[in-house]
Amino acid sequence: MKKIPVFVQIAFVALLSVSCGGNQPTVQNFDDVVAMRRSVRDYDASRSITQEEVMDLIKTAQEAPSWANQQPSKYYVAISPEKVAAVKELVGEGNKRNTAGAPVMIVSTYVKARSGFFRGNPANEIGDGWGAYDNGLSNAYLILKARERGFDTLIMGMRNSDELRKLLAIPDDECIMAVISLGYRASDPNRPERKATNDIVKFF
């Protein structure tokens, strides 16, 4: 069998990267995903995301660890133009501007009194805070998977939870945590400086 020259192999791989990734950088490893993730406040309104693509992100979020594998996180996905617009009305004027071009809005919740509880009682002083913790882990998996797929996100804490609950029929036994916009960045945001690692860690 005739061996394919190395330069032809390299050219073929480069072609695949361009055709599959569009104008997004090719992700090589986990560190690349983390390095390229940003809280994006400027979205390309001309680009859409499908329900199947969102489901792929949710499936990854399900792999996050949770207290006793309770899996308390739930996701309510606004993907129709009408529902997306309605959710954007409930995240405050600043976030509404920041997410103007985002084609998907995801509301993240967790079921109360599940994580952090044993036989119906809080297992420690954190109590229902464990539900928020588990939901945060799931959200982290979701936004990192989104970046791997070439998407961008913004996690928002400013939201009208009462109206979101009515709009999306969210049960009373779920705590609404965050709204996450999903789309494609229209511009590259700056990376804010992180604290020095030595300032946040102690070894014993």
pTM for the structure as a whole: 0.86
What's residue 145's pLDDT? 98
Domains annotated on the chain, with CATH: 29-188 (3.40.109.10)
Phi, psi of 72 (to 5 degrees): -80, -10
Size of the chain, expressed as the number of residues it contains: 204
Task: Read off the pLDDT band of 26 (50, 70, 90).
Answer: low
Is the alpha carbon torsion for 145, 151, 155, 159 positive or negative?
negative
Give per-residue pLDDT as tens, 153-175.
Answer: 999 999 999 999 999 999 999 99
Q: What is the pLDDT of residue 192?
A: 94
